Structure 1
Amino acid sequence: MKRINEQKGFTLTEILIVLVVAGILLSLILPNVLQAIERGNVTAHQSNLNTINVALFMCYTQERDWTQCADITDLTDGNFLEEVPENPFGGGYDIEDSPDVAAGDINAGKVACSTVEVTVGGDTLPGTCSGA
């Protein structure tokens, strides 16, 4: 005998099994996706710092005076940078001169390296300087 009210569809158990499997797959994939995004942000940040560094040395090569390249806006005003790169971690980029080194010493070639500090999300990450 044929049933009159045959309904087609999924049972609650089948739906729950699909949701559990989807949750397990998501928990396996999500950390890898987040790590890839973080690695991309770090790479972009390093590239931005390199671009700013090149612009600083181009500015110094033209001006022969670090004080003329002391601010990030000096690089954009002097056409060494089209625009200040966007920091992928938020905030921006800023150039600060070291209080330990006089500008005259840098211009006279008495300092062989410089120290860079990068501020990311309120945390300052100091650079290192070896040699003098």
Structure 2
Amino acid sequence: MDIAHIKSRSRIGAQQGFTLIEIMVVVVILGILAAIVVPKVLDRPDQARVTAARQDIGSLMQALKLYRLDHGTYPNQNQGLKVLAERPANAKDSNWRSYLERLPNDPWGRPYQYLNPGANGEVDVFSLGADGKPGGEGTDADIGSWQL
């Protein structure tokens, strides 16, 4: 065998591509990366909703504090949070003003809950979480003013 023949055989071998084992190793590595990354990416919208609920609750609590400064007390349970955005029909108090442009719903589309007296403070404002039921864990957990 001459040297030219050996060189041409080595070039042909180099151009044949990847072996099955090399391809399988790459597929396994991609699978491991996907198993790590995908759950984190899919969890982002839920985390964003929880953060938005906390921000809304903080804004509602600030509006409630302004209401209390003007009226000397928080809205009663019957008035609820609605009184922050709409003047009550029987309002005789000249101190009333709109404390919010509109009353937001929680990130899952349900109204925020209001308790006066509160179970965790003077008043409680909270969302029932993703499942809309009291209690729960993770994104189903209640998100309340007592957590701020």
TM range (shorter): 0.5 to 0.7
Aligned residue in 1 for 2:46: 38
> SS of 1:84's equivalent?
coil
Q: What's the Cα RMSD here?
A: 3.5
CA, structure 1 residues 84+68, in 2 after alignment: closer, same or farther (shift >3 Å)? same
Counterpart check, 1:73 vs 2:82:
yes
How far residue 96 of structure 1 moved from its aligned partner, in angstroms, is 2.2
Does 1 or 2 have the higher relative contact order (CA < 8 Å, sep 6+)? 2
Report how many aligned residue pairs link the two structures.
Answer: 104
**Residue in structure 1 matching 2:61, options 53, 67, 70:** 53
Aligned residue in 1 for 2:23: none
Long gaps (5+) in structure 2: 1-19, 21-26, 87-96, 136-141
Tell me which structure has the larger Cα radius of gyration: 2
Preserved CA contact (<8 Å) 1:87 1:93: yes
**Equivalent-residue separation in structure 1 for 2:107 and 2:143 (angstroms):** 18
TM-score by length of 1: 0.57
**Equivalent-residue separation in structure 2 for 1:128 and 1:74 (angstroms):** 18
Long gaps (5+) in structure 1: 1-12, 14-18, 101-112
Identity of matched residues, %: 21
1:45-124 mapped onto 2 (5 Å cutoff): 45-67=53-75, 70-77=79-86, 78-98=97-117, 113-116=121-124, 118=126, 119-120=128-129, 121-124=132-135
